[in-house]
């Protein structure tokens, strides 16, 4: 059986909601400042480049030529609505990758990624999303953000339930992968941990690897907040698909009309690359593209 680390207590304590959001959504849109980093997360590498701030409510990762850094959740999850507030490195961050993602383990792993690709100062930072299923990636989408992600914190979220996987930037859905396994497509199904890292990707991240990291700008820093987790911890049972978890409820099984409108707008105005449209790379489209990612 799975157990839940969530905001359900807030819903019980608050008999009314002062917005159009459900109680679950309202809880998800703001982080619980009482949840410190150490409660749900652990540093996994580059420990000397990790600093806890404000009593553990914020963590700063730094990177220089010696190392970057990363952390992950203590548990693996089978479903949930996961979020992290992130402020990206400023300065000339070309070659630097800030990543926030869910990942299982093993060669045939599942993984869903937010990867922020640094750029020269004054040029836009690209957000790349990617999905690995059964060890196979190559499902990149790239978009230009409509704000400066280095100026302040923004909330990046994954809704992962038996019906779909949705990537969110603040209140805007930017990518949706429907669960179409019955029609022959793949869908992430393995228990995954929450992971964040700051690392050197100058072999590919900026201008296809032509623009390298300027180490005179080091250390590069990324800041993270929002260490509460609304998710079902993976174990031996199948309860993580239960509609008793709010993120699996009827209101989360498809986008609402206003969310669909925002999603279509994001695709039309901000997407700069979509693997589904890259027929030179994929002469035969992947099943999820044909069926309607």
- ∠ CA 279-280-285, nearest 5°, is 35
Helical residues (DSSP H) of the chain, grouped into ranges: 8-13, 23-28, 37-40, 257-270, 287-291
Pair 258, 124: CB distance under 8 Å: no
Phi then psi dihedrals of residue 143, to 5 deg: -145, 155
In angstroms, the CA 127 to CA 199 distance is: 15
In angstroms, the CA 143 to CA 263 distance is: 12
Per-residue buried b or exposed e for 156-178, using 16+ beta carbons within 10 Å of the residue's own CB: bbbbbbbbbbbbbbeeebbbbbb
In angstroms, the CA 65 to CA 97 distance is: 14
CB atoms within 10 A of CB 220: 26
Residue with tokens 């409509």: 146
Q: What is the DSSP letter of 129?
A: E
Which residues are identified as catalytic? 111, 115
Comparing CA positions, the residue from 116, 122, 141, 143 lying closest to residue 131 is: 141
Residue with tokens 């008999």: 15
């Amino acid at each position: 059986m799975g157990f839940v680390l969530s905001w359900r207590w807030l819903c019980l304590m608050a008999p009314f909601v002062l917005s159009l959001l459900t109680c679950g959504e309202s809880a998800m849109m703001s982080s619980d400042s009482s949840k410190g980093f150490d409660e749900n997360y652990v540093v996994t590498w580059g420990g000397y480049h990790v600093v806890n701030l404000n009593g553990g409510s914020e963590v700063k990762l730094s990177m220089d030529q010696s190392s970057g850094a990363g952390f992950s959740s203590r548990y693996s999850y089978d479903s949930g609505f996961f979020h992290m507030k992130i402020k990206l490195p400023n300065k000339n961050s070309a070659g630097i990758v800030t990543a926030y993602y869910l990942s299982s383990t093993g060669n045939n792993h599942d993984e869903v990624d937010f990867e922020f690709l640094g750029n020269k100062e004054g040029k836009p930072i690209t957000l790349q999303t990617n999905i690995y299923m059964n060890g196979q990636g190559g499902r990149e989408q790239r978009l230009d953000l409509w704000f400066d992600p280095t100026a302040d914190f923004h909330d990046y979220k994954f809704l992962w339930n038996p019906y779909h996987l949705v990537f969110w930037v603040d209140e805007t859905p930017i990518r949706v992968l429907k669960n179409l396994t019955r029609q022959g497509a793949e869908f992430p199904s393995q228990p995954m941990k929450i992971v964040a890292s700051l690392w050197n990707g100058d072999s590919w991240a900026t201008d296809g690897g032509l623009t390298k990291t300027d180490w005179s700008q080091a250390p590069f820093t990324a800041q993270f907040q929002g260490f509460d987790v609304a998710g079902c911890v993976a174990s031996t049972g199948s309860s993580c698909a239960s509609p008793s978890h709010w993120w699996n409820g009827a209101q989360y099984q498809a986008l609402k009309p206003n969310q669909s409108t925002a999603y279509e707008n994001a695709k039309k105005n901000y997407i700069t690359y979509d693997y589904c449209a890259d027929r030179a790379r994929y002469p035969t489209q992947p099943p999820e593209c044909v069926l309607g990612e």
